[in-house]
């Protein structure tokens, strides 16, 4: 498996276009996400933490005290907004451009990894999950907040039908089977919590075997 440069640069271009509008587009959804982010971050211990797909930095206000965060992001326009947000909040973070499908870190670098609403956009999610499994320490946990394909057959089929158009316009896949994808990786799924919207939104906690 190797990174598909065309698909990855298309994803990046879509987010680059959306970056100036992203926070405004997400205002309503963010009202719902806020309590989910808080819940996820209440589980995180670090201390050496990687956030992948930091976006415009919406998780930065929730980082626990005493953690050392490295954050990567595919899209320059999103990353510059995250940097601004971190500066405004006075939070020191090592933020860099990067692709979760091909991380620059040595094996077992981080105690824990967090990602929120990223694997719906990563062109090759299995490649990305493989990288998370590689750079987290043995026994370390990966926390994910994701929307996934509905298990309701009608809603699921509708998501499949709409997905190509949604990907073309936003870069987001609405029919990813992310819990199953984590299961297919070398990470072990420890916890899956249904957060609402008929089981479409999930908190997933996975662990690298010791
Ligand atoms: C829907 S946004 C979510 C941003 C942020 N995590 C949040 O919760 O608001 C998805 C983000 O994932 C980034 N992304 C997509 N593919 C990526 C990849 N291969 N590596 C790193 N980041 C990626 C996009 O550039 C975008 O900023």
The rounded mean pLDDT for the chain is: 96
Q: Above pLDDT 70, what percent of the chain? A: 100
pLDDT of 188 reads: 97
Residue in the structure block whose two tokens are 């719906």: 120
Q: Calculate the dihedral angle through the C-alpha atoms of 203, 200, 115, 188, rounding to the nearest 10 degrees.
A: 50
Q: What is the pLDDT of residues 140-160, one digit of tens each?
A: 999 999 999 999 999 999 999
Q: What is the pTM of this model?
A: 0.96
Asked if residue 1 has pLDDT above 80, the reply is no
pLDDT of 43 reads: 97
Instruction: Report the C-alpha gap between 148 and 146 in whole angstroms.
Output: 6
Regarding the beta carbon of 51 and ligand 1, being less than 6 Å apart is answered no
12-40: burial string, b at 16+ Cβ within 10 Å, e else: bebbbebbeebeeebeeeeeebeebbeeb
Regarding the beta carbon of 116 and ligand 1, being less than 6 Å apart is answered yes
Instruction: Report the C-alpha gap between 158 and 162 in whole angstroms.
Output: 6
Average pLDDT over residues 77-89: 98
Residue 57 has a CB neighbour count (10 Å cut-off) of: 27
Q: Above pLDDT 90, what percent of the chain? A: 94
Average pLDDT over residues 58-82: 97
pLDDT of 169 reads: 87
- Decide if 44 contacts 112 (C-beta within 8 A): yes
Model confidence at 83, pLDDT cuts 50, 70, 90, reads: very high
Regarding the beta carbon of 143 and ligand 1, being less than 6 Å apart is answered no
Q: Calculate the dihedral angle through the C-alpha atoms of 179, 133, 205, 22, rounding to the nearest 10 degrees.
A: -80
Q: What is the pLDDT of residues 164-180, one digit of tens each?
A: 999 988 889 999 999 99
Q: What is the pLDDT of residues 25-46, one digit of tens each?
A: 999 999 999 999 999 999 999 8
161-171: burial string, b at 16+ Cβ within 10 Å, e else: eebeeebeebb
Residue 127 has a CB neighbour count (10 Å cut-off) of: 18
For ligand 1, mutation pick of 118, 119, 176 (most atoms within 8 Å of CB) = 118
Regarding the beta carbon of 117 and ligand 1, being less than 6 Å apart is answered yes
Model confidence at 106, pLDDT cuts 50, 70, 90, reads: very high
Regarding the beta carbon of 118 and ligand 1, being less than 6 Å apart is answered yes
User: Rg of the chain over CA atoms, in angstroms?
Assistant: 16
pLDDT of 198 reads: 86
CA of 73 to the centre of ligand 1 (A): 6
């Amino acid at each position: 498996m190797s990174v598909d440069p065309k698909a990855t640069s298309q994803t990046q271009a879509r987010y680059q276009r959306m970056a100036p509008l992203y926070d405004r587009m997400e205002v309503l959804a963010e009202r719902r996400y806020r309590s989910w982010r808080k819940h996820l971050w209440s589980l995180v211990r670090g201390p050496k933490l990687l956030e992948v797909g930091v976006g415009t930095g919406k998780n930065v206000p929730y980082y626990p005290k005493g953690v050392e965060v490295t954050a990567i992001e595919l899209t320059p326009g999103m990353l510059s907004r995250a940097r601004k947000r971190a500066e405004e909040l006075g939070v020191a973070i090592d933020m860099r451009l990067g692709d979760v499908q091909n991380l620059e870190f040595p094996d077992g670098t981080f105690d824990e990894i967090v990602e929120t609403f990223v694997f719906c956009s990563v062109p090759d999610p299995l490649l990305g999950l493989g990288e998370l499994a590689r750079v987290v320490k043995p026994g370390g946990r990966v926390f994910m907040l994701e929307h996934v394909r509905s298990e309701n057959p009608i809603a699921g089929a509708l998501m499949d039908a709409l997905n190509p158009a949604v990907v073309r316009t936003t870069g987001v896949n609405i029919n990813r089977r992310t819990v199953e994808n984590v299961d297919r990786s070398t990470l072990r799924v420890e916890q899956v919590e249904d957060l609402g919207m008929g089981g479409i939104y999930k908190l997933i906690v996975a662990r690298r075997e010791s």
